[in-house]
Amino acid sequence: MSPWRYPNIFLIFFSLLLTLFILYSGWLDQLFAPIKSWGYLGTFVIGVFFVSTFTVAPAAAALFVVSGELNPVLIGFSGALGATLGDYLAFRFIRERLMAEMNPFLKMLHLYRPVNVLHSRYFAWLAPVIGAVIIATPLPDEIGLSLLGMTKISIVRLVLLTFALHGTAIFLIALAAHR
């Protein structure tokens, strides 16, 4: 048991502050410079960063720069593997830890009300579609993963879906760099 009541919420705010500090300090180039020389392993690592709200822009830029020297199909594959790992970890964190931690907090603030739309037949097919669209766009994956977390999507389907969506996006970035 953690000594803090809401350790995951604290972690989110701490990572937000750390990311802002890294962005404004100019350390971002120094962080990605060694990874660029790793080839496809580097694109895997950059792919992990491709899924977060705060790191998607620098990761996309790093993928664009690295893509000039490597095969776009293999960049799409290795970057998608990394992005899928990042989404899987975020999904597990959101579904298993953060939602369980936030529900009592939201109830305490009187902000939590069960929404009947979550139990409708339309939500069962609409939420995964909206979640997939959000994951496929530059919008924060966390929103799409939260929508998918509210549904009964299996881990296997989540992995296949995020791999296909991120693989396509990363391949298009790599292809654009080769033009």
Return per-residue pLDDT of the chain as tens, 179 residues.
Answer: 556 666 767 766 776 677 677 767 877 667 666 777 888 999 999 999 888 766 777 788 788 878 877 899 999 999 999 999 998 888 777 766 666 666 676 666 655 555 444 556 666 678 788 888 888 876 668 778 878 877 778 889 889 999 999 999 899 989 988 77
DSSP H helical ranges for the chain: 7-25, 27-36, 40-49, 56-67, 72-92, 99-108, 121-136, 141-150, 155-178
The answer to whether residue 16 is domain-embedded is yes
Report if residue 153 sits inside a domain: yes
Q: Is residue 2 part of a domain?
A: no
The token pair that represents 174 in the structure block: 């790599």
Structural domains of the chain, count: 1
Enclosing domain of residue 130: 9-21+29-178
| pLDDT given for residue 138 in this prediction | 65
